[in-house]
């Protein structure tokens, strides 16, 4: 009996999250005939593309035993910077993309300096940066969203527009597949290969698995922790650029909701196929689960204030399964 129970728990732990995704899709498909259609599925994938970018960044910080809380504020900053480069300053592609990317990399380096060099606990260091970056992007935008023909302080209107090539990144399609979806698939594939099959990827996992043991083994743990925080900020910055391209404006404070969705997706990923550790493929499945839930509840006209309750329940269940299994392994 005990063996049967143990085997059942192993199955639940290994395939439970994927089974939940399938069951949720089936349920919403039965309740709404328009749910399981090509257009709606692509809408779901398009909607989770930005969250996936941010969640992959969070996953990198989790891999080295840290936790980056500043990603939402980075999304907000890079969204308004990229929009302002075109709308305020009429810059081309190079400046529009490189300036927000450089800003996100700088924030990642500051996070690493605080957490790795000064040794402030990761949560506190990145929480501090969350407030700082929020203040910076709000001051930069003066609290306003950035859009074409917006009124300026001198009484004129903004001279630039959101360029078509930029909108294509967030709204375009290739062979009927949205560009953000293709970029997300490419991101997940490349980062999965990097973490699974490269020396650097294995070193990142070893650093997070046991920091002192990794240090004694000769691994430059500070360097890999720094790399993780820089990549976390970079992917959040790319998510912010993609968000501006999708909505066609620089929405102030737009990244606030991204943090919790990204964190939820990252932690749900722990339980995908029994990984028991942060992993990019699991994070993507977690993002899909959250996207499916939000889309299905919207199509059923459920009250918006119930969304956070559902996301919280899903995260709590995923964590319960993950940490129950981790405790079982230690016994």
**What does the pLDDT look like over 14-23, one tens digit per residue?**
777 788 888 8
pLDDT tens, residue by residue, 155-211: 899 999 999 999 999 999 999 999 999 999 999 999 999 999 999 999 999 999 888
> For residue 301, what is the enclosing H or E element?
none
Number of domains in the chain: 1
Residue 300, pLDDT score = 87
pLDDT class of 276 with cuts at 50, 70, 90: confident
Instruction: Considering only residues 324 and 90, tell me which one the structure prediction assigns the higher pLDDT.
Output: 90
Residue 154, pLDDT score = 86
Q: How much of the chain exceeds pLDDT 90, in percent?
A: 68
Mean pLDDT value of segment 223-243? 97
pLDDT surpassing 60 at residue 66: yes
Selection from 38, 51, 43, 52 nearest residue 185 by Cα:
52
pLDDT surpassing 90 at residue 10: no
User: Beta-carbon neighbour count of residue 15 at 10 Å?
Assistant: 15
Find residue 174's DSSP bridge partners. 177
Mean pLDDT of the chain, nearest integer: 90
Mean pLDDT value of segment 263-292? 86
Instruction: Considering only residues 102 and 317, tell me which one the structure prediction assigns the higher pLDDT.
Output: 102
Rounded (5°) CA angle 246-251-256: 100
Q: Could you list the residue range(s) of the whole structural domain that residue 159 is in?
A: 2-330
DSSP-assigned states of every residue in 32-72:
-TTTSSHHHHHHHHHHHHHHHHHHHHHHHHHHTT-----HH
pTM of full prediction above 0.85: yes
Which range among 51-60, 99-108, 172-181, 309-318 shows the weakest confidence by mean pLDDT? 309-318
Mean pLDDT value of segment 215-221? 91
Mean pLDDT value of segment 40-48? 93
Domain with 137 in it: what CATH number? Answer: 1.10.3470
Selection from 68, 117, 115 nearest residue 234 by Cα:
68
Distance of alpha carbon 1 from alpha carbon 170, whole angstroms: 53
């Amino acid at each position: 009996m005990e063996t049967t129970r143990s085997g059942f728990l192993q199955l639940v732990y290994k395939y439970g999250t994927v089974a939940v995704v399938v069951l949720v899709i089936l349920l919403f498909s039965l309740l709404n005939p328009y749910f399981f259609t090509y257009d709606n599925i692509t809408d779901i994938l398009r909607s989770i593309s930005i969250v996936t970018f941010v969640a992959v960044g969070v996953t990198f910080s989790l891999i080295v035993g840290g936790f980056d809380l500043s990603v939402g504020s980075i999304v907000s900053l890079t969204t308004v910077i990229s929009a302002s480069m075109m709308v305020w300053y009429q810059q081309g592609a190079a400046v529009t993309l490189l300036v927000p990317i450089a800003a996100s990399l700088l924030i990642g380096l500051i996070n690493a300096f605080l957490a790795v060099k000064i040794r402030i606990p990761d949560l506190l260091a990145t929480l501090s940066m969350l407030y700082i970056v929020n203040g910076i992007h709000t001051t930069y935008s003066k609290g306003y969203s950035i859009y074409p023909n917006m009124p300026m302080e001198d009484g004129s209107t903004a001279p630039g527009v959101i360029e078509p090539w930029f909108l294509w990144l967030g709204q375009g399609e290739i062979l009927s597949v949205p560009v953000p979806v293709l970029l997300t698939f490419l991101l997940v594939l490349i980062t999965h290969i990097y973490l699974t099959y490269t020396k650097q990827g294995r070193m990142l996992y070893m650093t997070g698995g046991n920091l002192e043991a990794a240090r004694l083994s000769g691994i430059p743990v500070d360097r890999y922790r720094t790399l993780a925080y820089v990549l976390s900020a970079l992917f959040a910055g790319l998510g912010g650029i993609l968000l501006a391209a999708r909505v066609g404006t620089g929405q102030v404070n737009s990244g606030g909701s991204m943090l919790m969705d990204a964190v939820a997706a990252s932690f749900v990923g722990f339980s995908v196929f029994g990984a028991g550790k942060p992993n990019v493929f699991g994070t993507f499945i977690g993002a899909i689960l959250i996207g499916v839930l939000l889309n299905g509840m919207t199509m059923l006209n459920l009250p918006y204030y119930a969304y956070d309750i559902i996301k919280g329940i899903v995260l709590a269940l995923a964590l319960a399964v993950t940490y129950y299994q981790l405790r079982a392994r230690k016994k």
